[in-house]
Amino acid sequence: MLFSSITFLYWYLPVVLVLYYIVPRPHGSLLWRNLLLLLASVVFYAWGEPLYVLIMLGQAFVGWGSGLALNYLRERNEQRCRQCSEPPQSEPTQSKHRQGETSQSEPPQSKPAHSELLQSEPRQNAQGKSELLQSEPCQNAQGKSELLQSKPCQNAQDQVEHRQTYKTAKPDLATKVVFIAAIVCELSALLVFKYTDFFLNNINMLLQSELSLLALALPLGISFYSFQILSYTIDLYRQKVSVQKNPLYFATYVALFPQLIAGPIVRYADIAEQLTQRKHTLNGFANGIRRFCVGLGKKVLIANTLGQLAQIAQSAITDSEAAIVEQSTLFALLFLVAFTLQIYFDFSGYSDMAIGLGLMFGFKFLENFNYPLIAKSITEFWRRWHMSMSYWFRDYVYIPLGGNRKGKVRHILNILIVWMVTGFWHGAGWNFMGWGLFMALFLLVEKFVFARIQKRIANRESAKISDKKPSRAHTLLSASRVHALLLAFVSHIYLLFVVMLSWILFQSPDMQAATATATALIGMGADGLAGNASLYYLRDYAFPLIIAAIGCTPLPAKLVKMLRSAAASESSFAVVFKVSLTAVEPAFIATMLLLVTAFLVDGTFNPFIYFRF
Amino acid sequence: MHTTKNIHAAKTETSANALCTQKADFGKSRESLNATVGCRSWQALLNIFIFALIIGGFALATLLLPRAEVLVSERRKPAELPTLNAENLTSAHFMKGFEPWAADAFAGREELRGLRAFTVFNVFAMTDKDGLYFGEAGAGKFEAIKRANFIKTVDKVEKVIFNLNSTANESEMLSYYYAIIPDKSIYDSRSLPGFSSALADSLLQGRLQGATQIPLADALVKSDFYRTDLHWDQAELAFRAQAGADTVPTRLMRYMGDDVQLARMRQVLNSASINDVGAFSGVYPGQLALNIPADRLRYVSSPVVEAMDVSYFDAQTETFVQGSLYDLDAAKGRDPYDLFLSGASPIIIIKNPDAVLSGKDDATGKELYLFRDSFGSSLAPLLACGYDKVTLIDLRYIDYRLLDKYIDFKPGSDVLFCYSSQIFNNPTVLLVQ
């Protein structure tokens, strides 16, 4: 079931909301509400995948069962240590930071390694541990709704507490065996359903064999919920979270419908407390509504509209059987621009809806997007785009591989591996792997080339300024500011260009299509720079493109913030702003709901790009 | 229940804040904070109320209001809800059918469709929606040529020609012609991405070699088409012919007939009168959900036209039954364009008694076999003015292998394949295997 559907909006959601809020809470327990959420989530999933719901529940059972087993083994291990009157095989938390520790059993505490993958500011590497842990999520949450600002910091503190509380003993062999078995089981469904045919195809191609393909339909959201279960098992093994003994609560975590199909990838550590204790407030619910409506608008009004343009343009370039065939530079550009905006509004809109729905049910999910299209480098882009996935790969793949702690060659290799896996996660195809490596290439260039150049220039300029007389220094400072502005502009253009180029690999069904798009882009297509059709569609979609281009920046949010500040001020116009704000929000919600409903009732074009992942 | 508690709590909070602000010793900042908190609670309540009103209101209205049996503006029946049974549930057939049913049964569907059209055309400032556009020639649908489909249709036409030739000997050969009716988007000055005559010509290179192509693109102007429908206006074609223009019927006759036939046609057209049936709103205003001023539904009449003898093939009895050229009852039905020859029928024969029975000198003895789609219904009465007999064949409703069974093709006659770009883009509709 799609959030952006009549079925969800007008049948499923009202029924679930009403039932949820009339279910009693004996002694404040959320048991019945969680049970209702679980049942509702099963219905939600079964609506699209009636039989595959068993796979999802089976996976949840495996995750829960392996958690119990790991916990039992850990307790037994601790007990044995105590009985033998030996000091437990433990060590103070701080000692785990010593250099060279690479065991997978160790938690990912080495902050510089985190930063290497996703942070660019070297200053932060020097900060203290707890600060480092919270710095990034906090930064990413800034600028978002007030409700969401505090949570990441709280989560980071929780993580530290968990670590201090639960990290007591090193795992024994049995624990390691159970852990590996659990990981294999939890990955098996994903591997079978998503990757078997890819491997069979390649074996057939290499060995000229004729192994028959499984041709299995991909269970919805399997990439997302598998990763969530994995995060629980790994964190439990690393003793970062406590075990969840209640299967109902664990199944609720896995199946929770707001984030089940397309994320954000919510880690158990981030939601464990909310499963048993969460607040349902009027403001929280209202904020949830607002966020949900923002997401609906982004998805249905903008992403779907631009999706049509992307589809027309791509088929015009790559499909000779399409109604409109025109291999021109303008169409290639239109495709790349429209797809960039479509995928952003599509996915971030869905994340907004998920976060909004979570708020309506009392949950606070982490942010998943932070205006990625305003970034000035690929490194920054990935700190802002699909953050829950980026952090997942950072913490569960990159750090265990050794991050940047094993020398430059290994560091480069680790980055390549992580991004190849990231690409592969998006789809079982060489093009996705190529897309991941394409991203990795630019990350490496930024890390090892651009950063050094930038540092050298900065050093030279600061040296120049300090050498000169005050008046001359002032002129140089101004010039430096201009230079910085120019650099920011060029960096932004570079980012957009690289990201758009990357979609050629990402979105092309085969290499032939990718080549056709690239050829058209550089003006080598059959229709040169532009044709009648591309000019028509440029005119036709000009306004939606402009709306989307503004909408993907923080400008609208800044405007609202300014209004809020004005309303909270003591100026004589504050009342006017207050009244305006009071009227604007409900008007916005009503407009979004009515427009989205109109588009859903009348339109048939309603794809969701991340469903196939 | 819990919401009520929250609401109550929020109200209490608001009142408390209000009380607090009344106390003089509180500083301005405190007052401001309280006001903000209170304001937010009211704001939250208002937001929740609006959300509940819209979601709940529409959901209840959809449940309680009676469902339309026909979606009039879209000229179709609403989607049906699949039966709720185990098989449909496990196969997800029920779920897949639920969304279209829910969308079609949605309360206020028409108004919401209008809202979407307004947003697309006025807010997004676009000129098309779901492949339908509103341009200088009114509303229309982009019918850009799909190369593979176009070739398949041409293959089918070639097959029909081959089949007709295989049953006739050399001296009895028929004369073959074909004409493509262009999509009216080509007459829009903004170069809409619709039909392309140049592309059609390039795809026809080396094809249909035994047939003569009759170009129609330059014989039409945008005013020949209804602004609300895809079809051409028969009266407009006749008007322009009266004014001496080379319009579709005269263009076709110039290629297929001789001077006598052309003169006969012109004579009838010049003396024809135009009858107005009433307002006509074609398929597009409903599909676009736009308020487009209605066209007029008109037909050409003259003593010659009125005397024409029309018989329709009845597939049930496999016989021909008498009918009329213009069906005024059908004009009041769901598709008023059925005025012309009562709409779709596999075979229709129009005899021109003026030529056959009167024994006048201008009787040509020539017959035309018109392979046609719905455009042919309004064109045939005009073409019949120049022929003794016109047989309309709609291959969408009869298999081409059955034609010999019901039609006796007269040697030396003309055969015209006259299809719109829609048919060329949808070869599967033609019953030619």
Tens of pLDDT along A44-89? Answer: 998 888 888 899 999 999 999 999 999 888 888 877 777 765 554 4
- Does a structural domain hold residue A349? yes
Residue B279: strand pairing partners: B296
Mutation to test the B interface, candidates A560, A602, A606, most B Cβ within 10 Å:
A602
The reply to whether A31 touches chain B by the CB within 8 Å rule is no
A-contacting residues of B 200-219, CB under 8 Å?
none
Q: Among A218-227, A258-267, A534-543, B384-393, where is mean pLDDT lowest? A: A258-267
Could you read off the pLDDT of A327-342 as tens digits, one per residue?
Answer: 899 999 999 999 999 9
Token pair listed for B379: 């064109």
Let me know whether A246 and A291 are in one domain.
Answer: no
Q: What range does the domain containing A585 cover? A: 284-612
- Does a structural domain hold residue A4? yes
CA-to-CA distance for B305 and B268, rounded, in angstroms? Answer: 8
pLDDT at residue B294, rounded to an integer: 92
Q: Which residues of B touch A282 (CB under 8 A)?
A: 3, 6-7, 9-10, 41, 44-45, 48
pLDDT at residue B34, rounded to an integer: 54
> Per-residue pLDDT averaged across B287-292, rounded?
89
Could you read off the pLDDT of B230-281 as tens digits, one per residue?
Answer: 999 999 999 999 888 999 999 999 999 888 888 888 888 888 889 999 999 9
Percent of chain A at pLDDT exceeding 90? 42
The reply to whether A245 touches chain B by the CB within 8 Å rule is no
Catalytic hit among A386, A411, A426, A483: A426
Residue A472 has pLDDT above 60, yes or no: yes
- Does a structural domain hold residue A147? no
Q: Which residues of A touch B147 (CB under 8 A)?
A: 320-321, 325
The reply to whether B315 touches chain A by the CB within 8 Å rule is no
Minimal C-alpha gap between A366 and chain B (Å): 22
Residue of A nearest to B42 (CA): A582
Specify whether A426 is catalytic: yes
Token pair listed for A197: 């045919």
Residue of A nearest to B9 (CA): A282
pLDDT at residue B32, rounded to an integer: 52
Residue of A nearest to B107 (CA): A601
Within 13 Å and on the Cβ side, how many CA atoms surround B327? Answer: 22
Residue of B nearest to A543 (CA): B124
User: How many structural domains comprise chain A?
Assistant: 2
Q: Which residues contact B183 (CB under 8 A, 6 or more apart)?
A: B140, B141, B142, B143, B194, B195, B230, B420, B421, B422
- Does a structural domain hold residue A517? yes
- Does a structural domain hold residue A150? no
pLDDT band at A539 (very low <50, low <70, confident <90, very high): very high
Q: What is the pLDDT of chain A when averaged over all its residues?
A: 81
Considering only CA atoms, which of A320, A321, A342, A323 is closest in space to residue A525?
Answer: A320
Let me know whether A238 and A304 are in one domain.
Answer: no
Count of C-beta atoms within a 10 Å radius of residue A295: 25
pLDDT at residue A151, rounded to an integer: 38
Q: Where are the alpha helices (DSSP H) in A167-267?
A: 173-190, 196-207, 222-237, 247-255, 257-260
Q: Are strands B273-280 and B389-393 parallel, antiparallel or unpaired?
A: unpaired
Residue B10 has pLDDT above 50, yes or no: no
Could you read off the pLDDT of A434-446 as tens digits, one per residue?
Answer: 999 999 999 999 9
CA-to-CA distance for B347 and B392, rounded, in angstroms? Answer: 5
Minimal C-alpha gap between A545 and chain B (Å): 9
pLDDT band at B168 (very low <50, low <70, confident <90, very high): low
* Pairs of CB atoms within 8 A across A/B: 170
Q: Cβ(A433)–Cβ(A502) under 8 Å?
A: no
pLDDT band at A460 (very low <50, low <70, confident <90, very high): confident
Q: Which residues contact B168 (CB under 8 A, 6 or more apart)?
A: B174, B409, B411
Q: Which residues contact B130 (CB under 8 A, 6 or more apart)?
A: A603, A604, A605
| Domain-terminating residue out of A277, A293, A323 | A277
Hey, are the CB atoms on B106 and A22 less than 8 Å from each other?
no
The reply to whether B60 touches chain A by the CB within 8 Å rule is no
Backbone angles phi, psi at A64, to 5 degrees: -65, -45
pLDDT at residue A98, rounded to an integer: 37
If residue B150 lies in a helix (H) or strand (E), which one and from where to where?
A: helix B147-166
Could you read off the pLDDT of B74-94 as tens digits, one per residue?
Answer: 888 888 888 888 888 888 889
Hey, are the CB atoms on B106 and A589 less than 8 Å from each other?
no
Q: Which residues of B touch A322 (CB under 8 A)?
A: 146
Percent of chain B at pLDDT exceeding 70? 87
At residue A607's C-alpha, the angle toward residues A602 and A613, to 5°, is 160
Hey, are the CB atoms on A597 and B112 less than 8 Å from each other?
yes
The reply to whether A32 touches chain B by the CB within 8 Å rule is no
Token pair listed for A599: 């588009």
pLDDT band at A112 (very low <50, low <70, confident <90, very high): very low
pLDDT at residue B54, rounded to an integer: 94
Residue B176: strand pairing partners: B211, B415
Could you say which of A536, A539, A601 has the minimum Cβ distance to residue B113? A601
Q: Cβ(B180)–Cβ(B423) under 8 Å?
A: no
Q: Cβ(B182)–Cβ(B128) under 8 Å?
A: no
| Domain-terminating residue out of A232, A259, A277 | A277
pLDDT at residue B195, rounded to an integer: 85
Residue A90 has pLDDT above 70, yes or no: no
CA-to-CA distance for A557 and A576, rounded, in angstroms? Answer: 19
Residue B171 has pLDDT above 70, yes or no: no
Token pair listed for B239: 């008007």
CA-to-CA distance for B33 and A464, rounded, in angstroms? Answer: 49
Count of C-beta atoms within a 10 Å radius of residue B201: 13
A467 versus A548: the higher-pLDDT residue is: A548
pLDDT at residue A523, rounded to an integer: 85
Let me know whether A312 and A265 are in one domain.
Answer: no
A116 versus A50: the higher-pLDDT residue is: A50
pLDDT band at B18 (very low <50, low <70, confident <90, very high): very low
The reply to whether B85 touches chain A by the CB within 8 Å rule is no
If residue B320 lies in a helix (H) or strand (E), which one and from where to where?
A: strand B319-323
Considering only CA atoms, which of A157, A373, A125 is closest in space to residue A383?
Answer: A373
Three-state DSSP state, A374: helix
Three-state DSSP state, A523: coil
Q: Among A85-99, A207-221, B319-333, where is mean pLDDT lowest? A: A85-99
Q: Cβ(A336)–Cβ(A500) under 8 Å?
A: yes
Quick one: three-class SS letters along B69-104?
CCEHHHCECCCCCCCCCHHHHHCCHHHHHHHHHHHH
pLDDT at residue A608, rounded to an integer: 63
pLDDT at residue B297, rounded to an integer: 94
Hey, are the CB atoms on B42 and A586 less than 8 Å from each other?
no
CA-to-CA distance for A483 and A486, rounded, in angstroms? Answer: 5
CA-to-CA distance for A394 and A414, rounded, in angstroms? Answer: 10
- Does a structural domain hold residue A382? yes
A-contacting residues of B 278-307, CB under 8 Å?
289
The reply to whether B96 touches chain A by the CB within 8 Å rule is no
Residue B366 has pLDDT above 60, yes or no: yes
pLDDT at residue A572, rounded to an integer: 75
pTM of this structure: 0.81
Q: Which residues of B touch A605 (CB under 8 A)?
A: 130
CA-to-CA distance for B425 and B162, rounded, in angstroms? Answer: 22
Could you say which of A49, A540, A586 has the minimum Cβ distance to residue B50? A586
Hey, are the CB atoms on B119 and A595 less than 8 Å from each other?
yes
Amino acid at A605: F
Residue B26 has pLDDT above 80, yes or no: no
The reply to whether A482 touches chain B by the CB within 8 Å rule is no
Q: What is the pLDDT of chain B when averaged over all its residues?
A: 84
> Per-residue pLDDT averaged across B99-107, rounded?
91
The reply to whether A281 touches chain B by the CB within 8 Å rule is yes
Could you read off the pLDDT of A487-532 as tens digits, one per residue?
Answer: 888 889 999 999 999 999 888 888 888 889 999 998 888 888 988 8
Hey, are the CB atoms on A536 and B190 less than 8 Å from each other?
yes
Token pair listed for B410: 């007269």
The reply to whether B136 touches chain A by the CB within 8 Å rule is no
> Per-residue pLDDT averaged across B407-430, rounded?
89
| Domain-terminating residue out of A256, A277, A298 | A277
Residue B9 has pLDDT above 60, yes or no: no
Q: Positive or negative, the Cα torsion across B354, B357, B360, B363?
A: positive
- Does a structural domain hold residue A580? yes
Model ipTM value: 0.80
DSSP B324: -
Minimal C-alpha gap between B51 and chain A (Å): 7
Minimal C-alpha gap between A81 and chain B (Å): 48
> Per-residue pLDDT averaged across B150-164, rounded?
91
DSSP B134-146: EETTEEEE-----
Hey, are the CB atoms on B42 and A602 less than 8 Å from each other?
no
pLDDT band at A111 (very low <50, low <70, confident <90, very high): very low
Q: Cβ(B22)–Cβ(B9) under 8 Å?
A: no
CA A199 vs. chain centroid, Å, equals 27
Hey, are the CB atoms on A536 and B10 less than 8 Å from each other?
no
Token pair listed for A205: 């191609």
Hey, are the CB atoms on A5 and B99 less than 8 Å from each other?
yes
Could you say which of B39, B45, B126 has the minimum Cβ distance to residue A578? B39
Let me know whether A251 and A363 are in one domain.
Answer: no
Mutation to test the A interface, candidates B11, B51, B196, most A Cβ within 10 Å:
B51
pLDDT at residue A371, rounded to an integer: 93
pLDDT band at B355 (very low <50, low <70, confident <90, very high): low
pLDDT at residue A605, rounded to an integer: 63
Angle between helices B234-242 and B248-256 (to 10 degrees): 70
Hey, are the CB atoms on B98 and A7 less than 8 Å from each other?
yes
Hey, are the CB atoms on B106 and A281 less than 8 Å from each other?
no
Could you read off the pLDDT of B121-143 as tens digits, one per residue?
Answer: 999 999 998 888 988 889 998 88
- Does a structural domain hold residue A142? no
Hey, are the CB atoms on A595 and B115 less than 8 Å from each other?
yes
Let me know whether A328 and A253 are in one domain.
Answer: no
How many residues would you count in chain A?
613
Let me know whether A247 and A288 are in one domain.
Answer: no
CA-to-CA distance for B117 and B133, rounded, in angstroms? Answer: 11
CA-to-CA distance for A253 and A268, rounded, in angstroms? Answer: 7
The reply to whether B190 touches chain A by the CB within 8 Å rule is yes
pLDDT band at B114 (very low <50, low <70, confident <90, very high): very high
Three-state DSSP state, A584: helix
Hey, are the CB atoms on A286 and B62 less than 8 Å from each other?
no
Let me know whether A306 and A212 are in one domain.
Answer: no
CA-to-CA distance for B213 and B201, rounded, in angstroms? Answer: 10
